[in-house]
């Protein structure tokens, strides 16, 4: 694209500055001082949360519908993880038809997590080349193939192949949808709408646990019917994707300004007085400002995301997801049924349903608070509570938890740890998608999740073996990792609630202390105040 074009503002409607057309680049690469002359934040960002939800109805609808696909993700993830406790599954895949071998269970989980790493590392390239919708169609094909392989599997290594493919597909989902939602969501309710992803994911997982529980009660040896139900979820998601619009941020970054304008018009044309040209100009100016910084710091090449300030932003955005693994996500997500079965609980599927309900309640609480108390407080509260839960679990593991009373305490500690770990899960996705600059956003989310899942791969192989040998005492591992990780989070997790991409860029480049982002007055905010006072915004 031509980098020598500049914004040509014209006076229309009194003193309001609008753009006659959207240029190929808002800023001349040779004149970075022009960045300061371009509006980088909209006056609509000053709306309250409730006002924003009322004004941006179509954006809310787009993000909510996109989040529904996470139900497919959650359903397939939880079903394949929990079905291994089904009597019919054990009879089919266990060597002695009585008990699954721990190495096989660890292989299932390990290759599933390895598949997630592959999907999360690879799908950003698809997302950057073919758009966010191109990624959506890609991962739906993968999930369909995984469901087919699961349906025809008859020996343990068949199931291993299915888990690998499912991992790739689900990893791709996790690396795509939060980015898509972030790029369509208004700033005031960005966190709330990213919660839509986690909400549907938790609901899908709960649906899987209920399906397995109901089928186990009526037909204890039937594990195939729950697997077949995945096709209905996949089909509905594909239909939804056909009607979703492409991300305007991706379209602008690729120079497809006419398509970006068309998308913005569909989203905002119903809002009286909304200036589509100004919105397009803000997006383009923000992208060019970030490119200018990268040119000055020589942040080029495929690994630029891991260098210098971009590397710092990548690690900060990734840390909450990594910490989820350090506080026992593998136990409460991938091996919950297996864990409580080994712990002596006679109805492990019932416990997974309870955990699923708690996860759903945690996400609902998250959605109500994420744009009120902020990402930082949510993260610190969630991980502190999870540390308390796994610590209690470890203590109970040293006692006779076969006792009904201590058994109830064990379940309670698992519920607390799972609730708190899930409570900030959508906040983790918000950090992943908000911390990187726009051109690295898809790659940062994908690679950040892949980095997190490198730990998940390790835990997936190690945890089943530890559970088989040490049972509940395995929780001590997550106590030792989780508490120091939470202390570190206090020092490195910033508050990005209701910050625009340009503000986040400024806060990083100005070197503002991470713990002191909240309440800091940025130059972008000061500029917007001046424009509002002058009637220009």
* Cβ contact 299:449 at 8 Å: no
pLDDT band at 10 (very low <50, low <70, confident <90, very high): very low
Is the confidence at residue 34, as pLDDT, over 60? no
Q: Give the alpha-carbon dihedral of 161, 164, 165, 167, to 10 degrees.
A: 150
pLDDT band at 142 (very low <50, low <70, confident <90, very high): very high
Query: Residues 258-310: pLDDT tens digits?
Result: 999 999 888 887 788 778 888 888 888 888 877 777 777 666 666 788 888 88
Q: What is the pLDDT of residue 18?
A: 35
For residue 374, give the 3-state DSSP assignment. Answer: coil
The residue among 42, 181, 49 whose CA lies nearest residue 502 is 42
Query: Residues 176-218: pLDDT tens digits?
Result: 988 898 888 887 788 778 777 777 887 888 888 888 888 888 8
List strand residue ranges (DSSP E) for 197-344, in order: none
- Separation between Cα atoms, residue 523 and residue 537, nearest integer Å: 15
Query: Residues 235-259: pLDDT tens digits?
Result: 888 888 888 999 998 999 888 989 9
Integer-rounded Cα Rg, in Å, for the chain is 24
411 Cβ partners below 8 Å, 6+ apart?
340, 345, 351, 354
* Cβ contact 477:483 at 8 Å: no
How many CB atoms within 10 Å of residue 533? 9
For residue 11, give the 3-state DSSP assignment. Answer: strand
Alpha carbon 534 to its chain's center: 39
Q: What is the pLDDT of residue 8?
A: 36
Of all helices (H) and strands (E), which one includes residue 330?
none
Q: Which residues pair with 12 in a beta bridge?
A: 16
Query: Residues 69-127: pLDDT tens digits?
Result: 778 878 888 887 778 878 888 888 887 777 888 788 778 877 888 888 899 889 988 99
* Cβ contact 237:72 at 8 Å: yes
Burial track 446-467 (b if 16+ CB lie within 10 A, e otherwise): bbbbbbbbebbbebbbbbbebb
510 Cβ partners below 8 Å, 6+ apart?
none
Q: Give the alpha-carbon dihedral of 231, 184, 261, 249, to 10 degrees.
A: -100
Domain with CATH 1.20.1250.20 in the chain: 53-243, 307-496
pLDDT band at 219 (very low <50, low <70, confident <90, very high): confident
Which two three-digit tokens encode residue 384?
């502190």
* Cβ contact 355:208 at 8 Å: no
For residue 9, give the 3-state DSSP assignment. Answer: strand
- Separation between Cα atoms, residue 204 and residue 214, nearest integer Å: 15
CA distances from 391 to 62, 355, 397, 419, 478 (A): 41, 18, 10, 14, 8
Fold of 53-243: Growth Hormone; Chain: A; (1.20.1250)
Residues in the chain: 537
Which two three-digit tokens encode residue 474?
């395995």
* Cβ contact 522:503 at 8 Å: yes
129 Cβ partners below 8 Å, 6+ apart?
none
Q: What is the pLDDT of residue 63?
A: 87
Is the confidence at residue 460, as pLDDT, over 90? no
Query: Residues 476-513: pLDDT tens digits?
Result: 999 999 999 999 999 999 998 888 888 898 899 889 99
Q: How many Cα atoms occupy the beta-carbon half-sphere of 227 within 13 Å?
A: 24
Q: What is the pLDDT of residue 26?
A: 39
- Separation between Cα atoms, residue 511 and residue 261, nearest integer Å: 34
pLDDT band at 406 (very low <50, low <70, confident <90, very high): confident
In CATH, which of 2.60.40.1840, 1.20.1250.20, 1.10.520.10, 3.90.930.12 is domain 307-496? 1.20.1250.20
Which residue reads 């708190």 in tokens? 420
Query: Residues 314-371: pLDDT tens digits?
Result: 999 999 999 998 988 777 666 666 666 666 666 666 777 777 787 778 878 877 787 7
Q: Which residues pair with 17 in a beta bridge?
A: 11
Query: Residues 413-454: pLDDT tens digits?
Result: 888 888 888 887 768 888 988 898 877 888 888 898 888 878
Which two three-digit tokens encode residue 222?
């039937």
* Cβ contact 198:429 at 8 Å: yes
Which residue reads 């709330």 in tokens? 192
Q: Give the alpha-carbon dihedral of 261, 267, 270, 275, to 10 degrees.
A: -40
Q: Which residues pair with 368 in a beta bridge?
A: none
């Amino acid at each position: 694209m031509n980098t020598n074009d500049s914004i040509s503002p014209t006076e229309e409607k009194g003193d309001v500055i609008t753009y006659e057309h959207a240029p190929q680049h808002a800023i001349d690469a040779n004149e970075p001082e022009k960045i300061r002359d371009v509006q980088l934040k909209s006056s609509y960002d000053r709306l309250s949360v409730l006002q924003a939800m009322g004004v941006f109805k179509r954006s809310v609808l787009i993000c909510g519908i996109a989040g529904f696909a996470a139900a497919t993700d959650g359903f397939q993830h939880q079903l394949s993880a929990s079905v291994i406790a089904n009597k019919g599954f054990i009879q089919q895949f266990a060597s002695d038809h009585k008990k699954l071998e721990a190495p096989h269970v660890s292989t299932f989980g390990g290759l599933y997590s390895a598949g997630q790493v592959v999907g999360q590392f690879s799908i950003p390239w698809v997302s950057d080349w073919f758009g966010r919708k191109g990624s959506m169609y890609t991962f739906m094909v993968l999930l369909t193939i995984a469901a087919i392989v699961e349906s025809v599997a008859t020996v343990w290594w068949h199931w291993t192949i299915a888990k690998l493919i499912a991992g790739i597909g689900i990893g791709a989902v996790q690396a795509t949808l939060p980015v898509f939602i972030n790029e369509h969501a208004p700033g005031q309710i960005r966190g709330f709408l990213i919660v839509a992803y986690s909400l549907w994911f938790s609901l899908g997982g709960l649906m899987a646990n209920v399906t397995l529980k109901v089928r186990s009660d009526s037909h204890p040896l039937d594990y195939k019917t729950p697997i077949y139900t995945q096709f209905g979820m996949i089909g509905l998601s594909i239909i939804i994707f056909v009607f979703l619009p492409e991300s305007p941020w991706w379209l602008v970054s690729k120079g497809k300004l006419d398509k970006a304008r068309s998308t913005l018009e569909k989203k905002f044309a119903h809002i009286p007085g909304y200036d589509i040209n100004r919105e397009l100009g803000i997006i383009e100016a923000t992208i060019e400002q970030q490119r200018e910084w990268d040119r000055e710091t020589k942040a080029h090449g495929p690994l630029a995301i891991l260098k210098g300030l971009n590397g710092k932003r990548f690690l900060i955005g990734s840390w909450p997801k990594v910490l989820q693994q350090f506080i026992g996500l593998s136990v409460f997500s991938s091996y919950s049924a297996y864990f409580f079965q080994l712990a002596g609980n006679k109805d492990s599927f019932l416990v997974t349903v309870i955990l699923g309900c708690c996860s759903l309640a945690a996400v609902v609480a998250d959605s109500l608070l994420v744009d009120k108390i902020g990402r930082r407080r949510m993260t610190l509260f969630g991980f502190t509570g999870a540390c308390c839960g796994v610590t209690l679990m470890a203590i109970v593991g040293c006692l006779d938890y076969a006792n009904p009373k201590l058994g109830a305490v064990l379940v309670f500690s698992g519920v607390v740890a799972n609730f708190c770990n899930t409570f900030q899960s959508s906040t983790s996705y918000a950090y992943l998608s908000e911390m990187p600059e726009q051109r690295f956003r898809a790659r940062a989310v994908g690679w950040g999740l892949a980095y997190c899942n490198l730990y998940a791969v390790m835990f997936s192989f190690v945890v089943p073996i530890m559970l088989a040998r040490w049972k509940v005492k395995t929780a001590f591992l997550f106590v030792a990792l989780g508490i120091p990780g939470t202390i570190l989070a206090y020092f490195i997790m910033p508050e990005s609630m209701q910050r625009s991409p340009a503000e986040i860029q400024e806060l990083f480049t100005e070197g503002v202390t991470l713990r002191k982002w909240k309440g800091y007055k940025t130059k972008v905010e000061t500029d917007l105040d001046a424009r509002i006072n002058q009637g220009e915004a």
